[in-house]
Amino acid sequence: MFNREIDFENALVDLLISEKGWSEVIMSPTEQDLIKNWANILKTPLRLNGFINGKSASITRDNPDDVLHFGKEFFLQG
């Protein structure tokens, strides 16, 4: 049980890093930070442009420690 939202947020970030393999968490991101992060994830300018302009992009889960989702594809809508 958390009494303050910040305590919950910190616990969630710690969990994502320690148990889910996240290497970086953007704290209080701006819209530009989020777009840049997705650009890094999506890799190619063409996929990023399509995503920003209202199309979708597919992502294939590649973390072998996430056995429930490993190899599964999901789509992001722009």
- Is pLDDT at 19 greater than 80 in this prediction? yes
3-state SS string for the chain: CCCCHHHHHHHHHHHHHHHHCCCCCCCCCCHHHHHHHHHHHHCCHHHHHHHHCCCEEEEECCCCCCCCCCCCEEEEEC
56, 76 contact by CB (below 8 A): yes
What's the confidence (pLDDT) of residue 7? Answer: 92
Span 27-40, average pLDDT: 83
Please state the rounded mean pLDDT for residues 56-62: 78
Look-up of token digits 């890799």: 43
User: Position of tokens 């072998």?
Assistant: 64
